[in-house]
Amino acid sequence: MEEKDKPNKGYSADSIQALEGMEHVRMRPSMYIGDVGVRGLHHLVYEVVDNSIDEALAGHCDHIDVTITETNGVIVRDNGRGIPVDMHKKEGVSALEVVMTKIGAGGKFDKDSYKVSGGLHGVGVSVVNALSVNLRATVYREGKVYQQEYSRGKRVNEVKEIGTTELRGTEVEFQADDQIFDSLEFNYETLATRMRELSFLNKGITVTLKDLRTPDEKGEFPTEIFHSDEGLKEFVAFLDGNRERLISEVISIEGEKGGIPVEVAMVYNTSYSENIHAYVNNINTHEGGTHLSGFRRGLTNTLKKYADSSGMLDKLKFEISGDDFREGLTAIVSVKVQEPQFEGQTKTKLGNREVTAPVSQAVSEMLENYLEEHPADARIIVQKVILAATARHAARKAREMVQRKNVMSGSGLPGKLSDCSDKDPVNCELFLVEGDSAGGTAKQGRDRMFQAILPLRGKILNVEKAMQHKAFENEEIKNMYTALGVTIGTAEDERALNLEKLRYHKVIIMCDADVDGSHIATLILTFFFRYMKELVESGYLYIAAPPLYLVKKGAKSEYCWNDDQRDTAVLKLKGEGKESSVGIQRYKGLGEMNAEQLWETTMDPTFRTLRKVTIDNAIEADRVFSMLMGDEVPPRREFIEKNAKYAKIDA
């Protein structure tokens, strides 16, 4: 019998799984929360907090408390109306149980209950319930306290009335399921960043974050209170705290245009990067969309009109582009849309066409008023635009030189690059190695089939403080562009990175494990964040982790990556009750290892550790890079003092 004629044994209607609701969430969690790693874990908290924010947007809540418990559980408490607990006619159970156990259930689908709501899909707290080993909901409503418990999405008991109260609101306590998530460890700073963001985006709300896991030296638990009276105006000031401001105050507007609530705030600084963040219903739409298009249109048209009428552009020999108006600009655009339509690769690009005109109108109105009332600032802004246009013109020539080098020199590859044999980018790795000496060791130790080595001499240019054309004129940066095979400029954006001809799908920064090495790695990371963000977002950038120590006794030796591992290795090699001079070698540089050691600790895919570089929060990343690599010293000093407990001084 031929293969195609064989009967489909065991394959019948019974084999088709019709997964519904909570079962489907547990089987395909990534469809609902993105992934089951650290990002997905934190997303659980955001989903519960979003419910409280919805109450705030509807005018019923102004306090939200988030607590990380001793066991890495989370409690979210608000002072809203409290989820209804009366019988749901259609489902035949309490409305609370419906909200907690039915996908897509909730007041946000009833336009009379919520005009707008946060969250992407309205899946909310029921998904959190499905992915928690246990969850307890407590409702304070109409003088009474109600409670219901669940496990992995299913109710454990009926809704119970457990007491009386003068309070109102909802409290949700959950413990994420270790059968679902890779890790259950919540990161305090990650949660703090989002809570701070929400307080700026929803002025007047107080969000408290408390961590009960580890007390500080005084025996107190880390606690922060986030509250903003001025909203986006304060948000922009916070983001730009590490930069030198170019104009006297933050420009802002708030109101309703075409039935859509629009809030915008912006300020110019002396930097060379554009820093615009757009939100819809508190969601950071990092792929942009119609609201961002409206902002750019309003900004460009209004400033161009003003610059033309001022006569300041008369001597300029080339056209000004939209990019020039946005250099050195930090801005936040926030809109509230009743029925947002999302598109793009990660569903974070707003597609509602009716949003563009209201945002453009709001920005035009805001800028016209500001420019008229602040003529000195208006002149400074136009001068900045002219400077940006001049620099862009020079940068274009420098970029063309980088790309022309590819064509004129055959392969276009830098002479310092030791390339690999394999030409399939999926298999290939490029190590960016600090210094020629370490580069030589890496060349000897690598697997030539799939590992390429590009030594970088010294500290590359700090692009945070350099104009764009200076970056493209820098030899080390030019070498990185040509080695990677990427080009700059697409049909839509002349500054965008084109990854079509990227030659390696792993780009690995390999620097010394000392202070200088960390500084060089930070310089390289700054370059990638500012000039090759698309490569980072695609998941192609990594940092190598060379060992800090080699602990040796006789013929036995062990590599260690931190002090704890070193101490454990020393005790192990000493042996019980035996006194002997275990040797400890501290590696200050990659060059101190021979080729074989570098391969087996840092380059061999079987045993090495690579740290993948991701951008979980572009706003926070921008703030940290501008603080670490910018001109303002006080914020950097404050950061170092705050994090000094993590710092070690090399002997």
CATH number of the domain located at residue range(s) 412-545 in this protein: 3.40.50.670
What 3-state DSSP class applies to 209?
Answer: strand
The CA-based angle 452-454-458, given to 5 degrees, is 155
44: left (phi over 0), alpha (psi -120 to 50) or beta: alpha
What pLDDT, on the 0 to 100 scale, is given for residue 646? 47
Which ranges in the chain are annotated with CATH 3.30.565.10?
21-226
Which ranges in the chain are annotated with CATH 3.30.230.10?
232-390
Is the pLDDT confidence value at 642 over 90? no
pLDDT in tens, 513-527: 777 888 899 999 999
Predicted confidence band of residue 106 (pLDDT cuts 50, 70, 90): low
d(CA 280, CA 293): 13
Which ranges in the chain are annotated with CATH 3.40.50.670?
412-545
What pLDDT, on the 0 to 100 scale, is given for residue 644? 61
Which ranges in the chain are annotated with CATH 3.30.1490.440?
549-611
- Cα 50 to Cα 105, 199, 426: the distances in Å are 14, 12, 39
What pLDDT, on the 0 to 100 scale, is given for residue 414? 82
What pLDDT, on the 0 to 100 scale, is given for residue 221? 94
Q: Which residues pair with 430 in a beta bridge?
A: 452, 507
Q: What is the 3-class SS of 583-634, one letter each residue?
A: EEEECCCHHHCCHHHHHHHHHCCCCCCEEECCCCCHHHHHHHHHHHHCCCHH
What pLDDT, on the 0 to 100 scale, is given for residue 33? 87
What pLDDT, on the 0 to 100 scale, is given for residue 643? 67
pLDDT in tens, 152-191: 999 999 999 999 999 999 999 999 999 999 999 999 999 9
pLDDT in tens, 186-220: 999 999 999 999 999 999 999 999 999 988 888 89
Give the CA dihedral 347, 348, 352, 358, nearest 10 degrees: 180
Predicted confidence band of residue 615 (pLDDT cuts 50, 70, 90): confident
d(CA 506, CA 500): 15
Predicted confidence band of residue 16 (pLDDT cuts 50, 70, 90): very low
Calculate what percentage of the chain has a pLDDT beyond 70.
89
Predicted confidence band of residue 135 (pLDDT cuts 50, 70, 90): very high
Encoded amino acid at 582, one letter = V
21-226 CATH pick, 1.10.287.3510, 3.30.565.10, 3.40.50.960, 3.40.50.300? 3.30.565.10
Predicted confidence band of residue 580 (pLDDT cuts 50, 70, 90): low
What pLDDT, on the 0 to 100 scale, is given for residue 412? 63
Please report, in angstroms and rounded to a whole number, the separation of the first and last CA atoms in the chain: 76
Residues 6+ apart with CB under 8 A from 84: 95, 96, 141
Assigned CATH class of 549-611: alpha beta
CATH number of the domain located at residue range(s) 232-390 in this protein: 3.30.230.10
- Locate the DSSP E strands across 258-341: 260-268, 275-280, 283-284, 329-335
What residues act catalytically? 434, 512, 514, 516
Residues 6+ apart with CB under 8 A from 295: 264, 276, 278, 331, 333, 359, 360, 363
